[in-house]
Amino acid sequence: MRVVIGLLALVASASAQATNWLQLQGNEAPDAPAFRYFGFVQPTYTHIDARPVTKLQGAAAVHNGKYSALNLNWPNLESPQQFQILRAGLGARGGLTDEINYFVALDAGQNGTTYYSDVMLTDASLTFSFIPGARMRAGLFKLPTGEEALQAVNVSAPYVYNSNAVLYLLVGLPVQANGAVNPAGASFASLTSGFSGYRDWGVQVFDTFNRGQWEYSYAAMLSNGDSIDRLHDSDGRKDLTLRFQASYLLGGKGPNREDFSAYVWRQDGSRLFGTQQYALVREGVGLKYLQGNYRASAEYLRAAGMIVGGQTPPFVGQPFVVGVNEKAGGWYLEGGWRFLPQWEVDLRYDYLDFMKQTLANEREFATTTLGLQYFVNPATHVIFNYEWRAMKVSNPAAIAAGASLNNAQTIAANLGDRASAQLTWSF
């Protein structure tokens, strides 16, 4: 079983996704070997169909002729077209004793997690299974949040890039305030480290219980709520994340398990921004189904408190916008059909309503993704995606007429569609 915990916000690969990730990524069978290595690489090409922005007015006119950051590829933000080794993961896992197992992984790809470092430690955990019904996992690993965030990127995520709701609300952007904090509107910030990749340092109690064809699982994690490149907690406050899942088992095991599952989760914490702590709440509910050649899943997410947006104005070198008392919500609905043994077609629609508390800042994103996967062999597959992307200024009447309104609508209309191709080779 070669399973890798995923790395950043821009995610990919294979079709099977109905499983219990809490158990699969955090536990080993009692007879597991002491050492198993695993790895994968994901060369990726992305083309965004975009043109430089024109017709900006006022102070923003200096950015005319530049590409919006929304139309540039991470992490370099240099071009709408880019070839990169998006992820290059290497790790090991195994059982030290019948009651203790470990999981460790590194990433050397070009993505947001490795933004400030060529190689990042992305996973380093020990699981202790001494207490029936209450396994304990400690270290650096994925938070028990949404299904798309938990998926192993080289075996289970069928798209090259995340849905907008998961990307904007869960990826984790460590920031510090640039100047005064506005508690009733937008503040500005700069990044302090790379993205969290849905991970944190902490301690988790979890387990799974079987009742005939039904499986029930839970997880409760106390974590730092800080950058993953820091072992210490800079503000001394902890996040509490809870997840519960019920699954009706239909056959198989591991990442290829067939089931119908429902789950709910919630993350509750705070972040130091400027000189004060601000609440950070994330929560979601979802369904997933996999049986035979068919797969479907859906998830609704919402956020309250501190929310980090993109660069404002959206050009390289500009500060990130932050709302400390904001709200957002989004969802996705997706499915796949393995119509031939080596071919699968996938379709996803995702929607995000962002910065809803401040009418002038509210934006809506809607993306339809058409995907095709070709499975060369069990260790190698290719994904082709095309995304129709749209952005809407939700409340034009709340924006001052003139340059401000013109610029907001110009940026929204400039968002380009995105095509991508990705090879995944696992070893």
The mean predicted confidence, pLDDT, of the chain is 93
Residue 125 domain-assigned? Answer: yes
Residue 25 binned pLDDT confidence (cut-offs 50, 70, 90): very high
CA 404 remoteness from chain centre: 31
pLDDT at residue 215 is higher than 90: yes
- Measure Cα distances from 160 to 10, 293, 331, 343, 373 in Å: 7, 20, 18, 16, 11
| Per-residue model confidence (pLDDT) at position 2 | 33
pLDDT at residue 8 is higher than 60: no
Once rounded to an integer, what is the mean pLDDT over residues 292-307?
Answer: 98
pLDDT in tens, 148-172: 999 998 888 899 999 999 999 998 7
- Measure Cα distances from 95 to 193, 207, 273, 326 in Å: 32, 17, 41, 44
CA dist., res. 143 & res. 152, Å (int):
13
Residue 3 domain-assigned? Answer: no
CA dist., res. 331 & res. 424, Å (int):
27
pLDDT in tens, 117-156: 999 999 999 999 999 999 999 999 999 999 999 999 888 8
Residue 9 domain-assigned? Answer: no
Least confident interval from 89-98, 180-189, 203-212, 330-339 = 180-189
Residue 6 domain-assigned? Answer: no
pLDDT at residue 347 is higher than 80: yes
| Per-residue model confidence (pLDDT) at position 7 | 30
| Per-residue model confidence (pLDDT) at position 51 | 98
Q: What is the number of domains present in the chain? A: 1
More confident residue, 3 or 198: 198
Cβ–Cβ < 8 Å for 8, 113: yes
CATH number at residue 30: 2.40.160.10
pLDDT in tens, 225-275: 999 998 888 788 999 999 999 999 999 887 778 999 999 999 999 999 999
Residue 97 domain-assigned? Answer: yes
Once rounded to an integer, what is the mean pLDDT over residues 215-223?
Answer: 98
Residue 4 domain-assigned? Answer: no
**Percent of the chain's residues with pLDDT above 70:** 96
pLDDT at residue 213 is higher than 70: yes
Least confident interval from 181-195, 379-393, 399-413 = 181-195
Residue 227 domain-assigned? Answer: yes
Burial of 400 (0-12, 13-18, 19+ CB in 10 A): exposed
pLDDT in tens, 77-104: 999 999 999 999 999 999 999 999 999 9
Structural domain range at position 387: 21-426
Q: What count of other Cβ atoms lies within 10 Å of the Cβ of residue 235?
A: 12
| Per-residue model confidence (pLDDT) at position 17 | 54
Once rounded to an integer, what is the mean pLDDT over residues 190-209?
Answer: 95
Least confident interval from 73-77, 282-286, 346-350, 387-391 = 73-77
Residue 18 binned pLDDT confidence (cut-offs 50, 70, 90): low
| Per-residue model confidence (pLDDT) at position 19 | 82
| Per-residue model confidence (pLDDT) at position 185 | 86
pLDDT at residue 14 is higher than 60: no
Residue 384 domain-assigned? Answer: yes
**Percent of the chain's residues with pLDDT above 90:** 87
| Per-residue model confidence (pLDDT) at position 325 | 96
Write out the DSSP string of 165-181.
Answer: HHHHHHS---EEE-S--
